């Protein structure tokens, strides 16, 4: 089971997105495809908390998250002078996501580019997850990938059996070209 769902959270957004990754003191960033997930605990209109997770398919140790409850939101709201309420926060994050470091801390910033300047819409601090959480997620992601691989191998075997039944001569040619891939069982 997905470790993020252990405590009752449910996934409401899960996408691979191109994201500019910058070191804190660096002006130059690198565009990387990152998985961004938004999870909520409780009712969608009035969640107890909202969790944002950012992971990388290319670096299994890259795992950042932020969990915001109503109290933590009030701090963000005051610091960034946001005019929306907590119950609108999830919708705003989803809308921004759908429209589009070396320290143990990172942040997620949402900007809107206008004709003359870039306006910061929202900034959320993220913390690198501890080793146990990272290991649980690595285990889950690897086992999910392993299950997908097994399913695909079974599909290939089924297709090869059909081809062998319908066209044995074609199968002999396939076995000649790549005997180790399509071994007879």
Residue range 125-134, pLDDT digits in tens: 777 788 888 8
Task: Write the DSSP symbol of residue 8.
Answer: S
Among candidate residues 104, 97, 70, the one with its CA nearest the CA of residue 84:
70
Query: Which ranges constitute the DSSP H helices of 34-130?
Result: 70-80, 86-99
Q: Which has more confidence, 64 or 103?
A: 64
Neighbours of 149 (CB within 10 A): 10
- The mean pLDDT value for 17-23 works out to 76
Among candidate residues 75, 24, 68, 73, the one with its CA nearest the CA of residue 50:
68
Statement: residue 184 has pLDDT above 60: no
Q: Which residues are CB-contacts of 50 (< 8 A; sequence separation ≥ 6)?
A: 38, 39, 40, 67, 68, 69, 89, 90, 93
86-125 residue pLDDT tens: 888 888 888 878 765 334 456 677 777 677 776 777 888 7
108 neighbors 66 (Cβ within 8 angstroms): yes
């Amino acid at each position: 089971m997905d470790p993020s769902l252990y405590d009752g959270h449910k996934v409401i957004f899960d996408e691979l997105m191109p994201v500019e990754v910058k070191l804190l003191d660096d002006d130059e960033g690198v565009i990387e495809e990152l998985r961004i997930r938004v999870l909520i605990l409780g009712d969608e209109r009035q969640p107890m908390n909202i969790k944002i997770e950012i992971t990388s398919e290319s670096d299994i140790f890259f795992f950042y998250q932020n969990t915001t409850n109503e109290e933590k939101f009030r701090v963000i709201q005051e610091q960034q002078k946001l005019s929306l309420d907590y119950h609108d926060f999830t919708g705003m994050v989803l809308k921004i996501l759908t429209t589009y470091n070396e320290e143990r801390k990172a942040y997620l910033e949402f900007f809107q580019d206008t004709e003359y300047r870039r306006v910061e819409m929202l900034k959320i601090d993220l913390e690198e997850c501890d080793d146990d959480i990272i290991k649980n997620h690595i285990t889950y992601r690897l086992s999910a990938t392993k299950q997908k691989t097994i399913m695909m191998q079974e599909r290939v075997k089924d297709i090869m059996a059909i081809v062998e039944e319908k066209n044995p001569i074609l199968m002999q040619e396939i076995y000649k070209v790549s005997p180790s891939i399509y071994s007879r069982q």
